[in-house]
Amino acid sequence: MMLKRLLKTWWERRRERRRVLGRVARNRSAGFTMLEIMIVIAIIAASGAGVGVAVFSQFKKAQVKIAKQRVKEVMQGVTTFMIDNNNCPRGLEQLVAEKYLSKGAAKDPWGKDFALKCPGTNDPETADVSSAGPDKQDGTQDDIRSWEM
């Protein structure tokens, strides 16, 4: 009788343990823990930040290239104007008004108008065209100037 009672309690404890372990295992496989989700989000954010830095630096380089190209366009417009009229344009507005230059080409990629001086100090036969550059301040090292290209 005592052996029967011991076996019964052992068997019940074993069944209870399996029931509890089974429930834990089911709950564990039901989804991800908060820590796992946070780790994945942190990895995605770190890789996204790296991509963002690379893209932004390429964007800045592209803006400088566009500014140099637009300076060349303004110079070409000034040269064409001077050939047609035998004098210098009064400003970018005149070049745009008389269709020697498109309205979009009269501004640098940072939204400022190009500086036009005709006849030029550095190039007296044509004009000096410059952009304030990425820092938007004239006279700094990052300025884009027609006589330096």
pTM for this structure?
0.66
| CA 116 – CA 89 distance, rounded (Å) | 9
Among 125, 113, 122, residue whose Cα is nearest residue 87 = 125
| CA 33 – CA 87 distance, rounded (Å) | 76
Burial (CB count within 10 angstroms: exposed 0-12, middle 13-18, buried 19+), residue 79: middle
CATH number among 3.30.700.10, 3.10.620.30, 2.30.140.10, 2.30.30.40, domain 55-149? 3.30.700.10
Instruction: Please list the pLDDT of the chain residue by residue as tens digits (149 residues).
Output: 666 665 667 667 777 777 766 655 555 566 888 999 999 999 999 999 999 998 998 999 999 999 999 999 999 999 999 999 988 898 889 999 999 998 888 889 998 889 889 888 888 888 899 998 898 888 888 889 988 88
Hey, what amino acid is at 63? Answer: Q
